[in-house]
C-alpha cells in the first residue's frame, strides 16, 4: 500500500473570521519541498477574499486527473516504442448540481495534443493508448466523475 501526504496551511491573520470575511489564500506543501499557493476559487469566493493567482481545489482536481492520465499514456507509448516529443492537455472540469442539490465535478474532459516523432501511431493506436491509460490511472479509478478523452 502507498501513502501520500500534503500539508495544507492557513492562518487567520487578524481577520474577525465570524463575519465570514476572511482570506481563503493558503499553501499546499509536499514532501519533495514544493509549496503551492492555493485559494478558494474566485468563481465561488469573490476577490479579495480569494486569491486568483492561487490554485483552487477544483483546478487541482482537474490537473491531477490530467497528470495521472498523461503519465500512464507516456509510459505506455514508450513501451510501444512511440516517441512522444510533447504532450499538452487543455483539460476542463465541469461542475453541476447533483440530484441532492450539492455541487460536484460531474465531468472532466481531457483534450491532449500529442506530438510524436519517428514512427507515427495510427488513430487506432492512440485511442488504445488513451483507453489503457484511463483504465490504469489511479485517480480515474478513484472518482465518480465521468472522464472523457478528446485528443486534438
pLDDT of residue 1: 86
pLDDT of residue 137: 97
Q: Which of 130, 120, 111 is nearest to 84 (CA)?
A: 120
- In this structure, whether the domain defined by 57-149 belongs to CATH 3.30.300.20 is answered with yes
- By the 10 Å C-beta count (0-12 exposed, 13-18 middle, 19+ buried), 133 is classed as buried
C-alpha cell at 70: 498523461
Give span(s): CATH 3.30.300.20, the chain: 57-149
Tallying the residues shown for the chain, one arrives at: 152
Q: What are phi and psi of 95, to 5 degrees?
A: -100, 145
**CA-to-CA distance for 135 and 112, rounded, in angstroms?**
17
pLDDT per position as a tens digit, 4-23: 999 999 999 999 999 999 99
pLDDT of residue 135: 97
pLDDT of residue 152: 83
Positions of the chain with pLDDT under 50: none
Amino acid at each position: 500500500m502507498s501513502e501520500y501526504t500534503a500539508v495544507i496551511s492557513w492562518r487567520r491573520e487578524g481577520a474577525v473570521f465570524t463575519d465570514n470575511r476572511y482570506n481563503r489564500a493558503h499553501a499546499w506543501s509536499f514532501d519533495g519541498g514544493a509549496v503551492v499557493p492555493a485559494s478558494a476559487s474566485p468563481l465561488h469566493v469573490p476577490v479579495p477574499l480569494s486569491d486568483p493567482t492561487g490554485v483552487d481545489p477544483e483546478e487541482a482536481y482537474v490537473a491531477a486527473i490530467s497528470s495521472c492520465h498523461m503519465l500512464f499514456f507516456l509510459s505506455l507509448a514508450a513501451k510501444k516504442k512511440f516517441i512522444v516529443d510533447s504532450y499538452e492537455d487543455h483539460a476542463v472540469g465541469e461542475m453541476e448540481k447533483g440530484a441532492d442539490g450539492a455541487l460536484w465535478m460531474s465531468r472532466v474532459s481531457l483534450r491532449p495534443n500529442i506530438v510524436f516523432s519517428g514512427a507515427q501511431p495510427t488513430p487506432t493506436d492512440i485511442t488504445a493508448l488513451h483507453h489503457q491509460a484511463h483504465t490504469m490511472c489511479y485517480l480515474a479509478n478513484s472518482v465518480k466523475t465521468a472522464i472523457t478523452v478528446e485528443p486534438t
